[in-house]
Chain A
Amino acid sequence: MSDLTFSTVRKTFGQNVALEGLDLEVRDGELISLLGPSGCGKTTALRIAAGFERADSGRVMVAGNDITNQPPHKRNMGMVFQSYSLFPNLTVAGNVEYGLRTRGISKPERQRRVTEMLELVQLGPMANRYAHQISGGQQQRVALARALAIRPQVLLLDEPLSALDAKVRATLRDEIRRIQTELGITTLFVTHDQEEALAISDRVGVMSNGHLEQLGEPTEVYRHPSSAFVARFVGSMNELPAFVRGPDAVAIGDYVVATPAVGMREVGAPVLFLVRPEDMSLGASDAKGLPGSVTARTFQGAATIVSVRLDGSDTLVSVHVAGSAAAHLAPGDRVNVVMDGTRGVCEAGVAA
């Protein structure tokens, strides 16, 4: 067992609160992504786990052992950094071997593990090269091999893909997940890229202003965001001024949408109703819905994004239309926007 636990961890930098009592448990063999905008505290949490920052209060535990006050070199954690971190004076093999040397492991065992790790990241033939002789993606794979060579209890990934181009990023992302699953290593992954987080995580933690807004499986976080912040940060959202029509319904103009998101709000209260583009569809101009005019159409392969300006307001909504159903639409065409409010989110708004 090597689960990683944060218990009410708080950290401030001067007047800025980086972590406001973080509680998080990364279960044994699980990959949790901490997702959030810059300054939300996700990297601070990771650096506290690694021992590079000291928490003001709270505890960090690995496999039930309190490591809060342990220096980084005594924690058995592998880390891959955002910037390229290979030691320029060492070859690829030398880098992977580094952590094994510091642990006083015998030479034959070191060589065996270096070979094993380089094969794991498919870089065996690059063993004698130096960092500047391999690509950015390869450097990060070596960094991953180096972090894993020491057989850490926990793997910490600090935005390891952000410096790479899109194609390499996607490939390496899948490779990280494959290796993580293969080794069953407890992993904390920090990213600001929602697509990355949703793609490879067992659970995603969305952070804002030093606290965890929501922690859940990727589908749950995407489908049932617990707050307007999470809804906006994970995926895209249409925002419509509305008012509460009843305990289970909001009205956008005359169009009533059934939704469980009203909560305890009073009837008539103004709200901002958030709906994902894929929960909207286009009906004929005489159907029930919100009438508007098509302003643009963007073909994206599997789906088309249609932008519609709603009548009587400046509100612009995006509607995902699957397949080629929207192929006939042209700017200026009249449509009716229909929506499914079951996964919508309400936020206090001002009267329209």
Chain B
Amino acid sequence: MALVTGTSTPPPVEFPRSAPQAPPRRGRRFGRLGPNIVLIAFAIFFIAPLVSMTRFALQKVPMPLLHWDTIFDRWSLSALTDAFKEPSFGKTLLLSLRLAVGTVVVTLALLLPTALFVHLKLPKARPIVEFLTVLPYVVPPIALVAGVAAFFRPNARWFLNSNYSLIPFYVVMALPFTYRSLDAGIKAIDVRTLVDASRSLGATWPSTLRRVLLPNLSSSIVSSAFLTTAVVLGEFTIARTLSKQTFPVFSFDYFGRKAQGGIALALFTLVGSTALLGFFTLLTRGKARRRQVNRF
């Protein structure tokens, strides 16, 4: 009988009513101070050059006079608007944007199937592919372009003559960023099961890609596209070596002629890229939020 009694519902476990004791004050204070110092150090590291750059670009004050007491003096966008009026500005910016679009398309067309194939069919090859994608880090752009140009000049000069010959170089330059971004997106969803589920429901591979994979990888595709664009808008060495008039080359030349205008253009590129990133982030977040709202 004692056994039966023993199996009746046990009394609820009593939890202490008082709030858990606060950790010692000294430790907490130290805990806050550490991260704050790191945060401030990082802020200075990032913000100081930006502030200096902005002041140099947009204040009509001679550089030796750029002190704290002149911080509100003679702000003007004229250095930037003068740069905009340069005949090459629009042309080179348009070319760079076209190159960016082309690079994004080629990168996604090559890397998305590769990353999916490696995940689904050749998981053992992943370390090799990852290694290959970081190679652009260790091969300097100048070495890359010199080698490729040496091969193409005698064999296919027409290729190097075209402005769009930069696209393959940019695809390679952007590889470390784009592959990682796509790879992270693929890892975040159970690609194999989703593909199997889609296929078992009668979808072909292209249909599975369009209806399941692309919508669920949209964030990583967007961030991959953004990183590619950022690489294209900032790449100078290859374009200069191949004598292409891209936006970074124009900016550099313009800087040689008008230092303030050149820095203003660099600032313009930076703000433009950041705005683009913000726009894409809002776009993907907004989409997710709309989805949540629709659910209820």
Q: Which A residues contact B (CB, under 8 angstroms)?
A: 50-52, 71-75, 77-79, 81, 83-85, 87-89, 91, 98-99, 102-103, 128-130, 133, 143, 146-147, 150, 156, 297, 299, 301, 304, 324, 327
Contacts and interface: CB of A to CB of B under 8 A. Distances in A.
Interface string B1-26: 10110110000000000000000000
Interface of B: 1, 3-4, 6-7, 189-190, 193-194, 196-204, 207, 211-212, 215-216, 291-292, 294-296
Nearest to B201: A99
A128 B211 CA distance: 18
Contact of A87 (B3, B6, B199, B212): B212
Contacts of B201: 73, 78, 98-99, 102, 146-147, 150
B55 to A, nearest CB: 46
B202 A99 contact: yes
A79 B194 contact: no
B1 A88 contact: no
B195 to A, nearest CB: 9
Nearest to A149: B201
Given A85-B193, A87-B216, A89-B215, A128 B294 contact: yes
Given A74-B202, A299-B3, 12 more contacts: A72-B196, A72-B199, A72-B200, A83-B193, A84-B190, A87-B198, A89-B212, A89-B215, A150-B201, A150-B202, A299-B6, A324-B4
Contact of A327 (B1, B197, B204): B1
**Interface-central residue, B1, B196, B204, B296, by most chain A CB under 10 Å:** B196
Contact of B196 (A85, A98, A150, A301): A85
B207 to A, nearest CB: 6
B189 A88 contact: yes
Given A130-B291, A299-B7, A327-B3, A102 B216 contact: no
Contact of A102 (B1, B6, B207): B207
Given A85-B194, A327-B4, A78 B200 contact: yes
Contacts of B4: 299, 324, 327
A11 B193 CA distance: 21
A87 B193 CA distance: 10
A327 B215 CA distance: 62
Contacts of B291: 130
A91 B295 contact: yes
B204 A73 contact: yes
A130 B207 CA distance: 21
Contact of B197 (A51, A75, A81, A89): A81
Given A73-B202, A102-B203, A327-B3, A87 B194 contact: yes
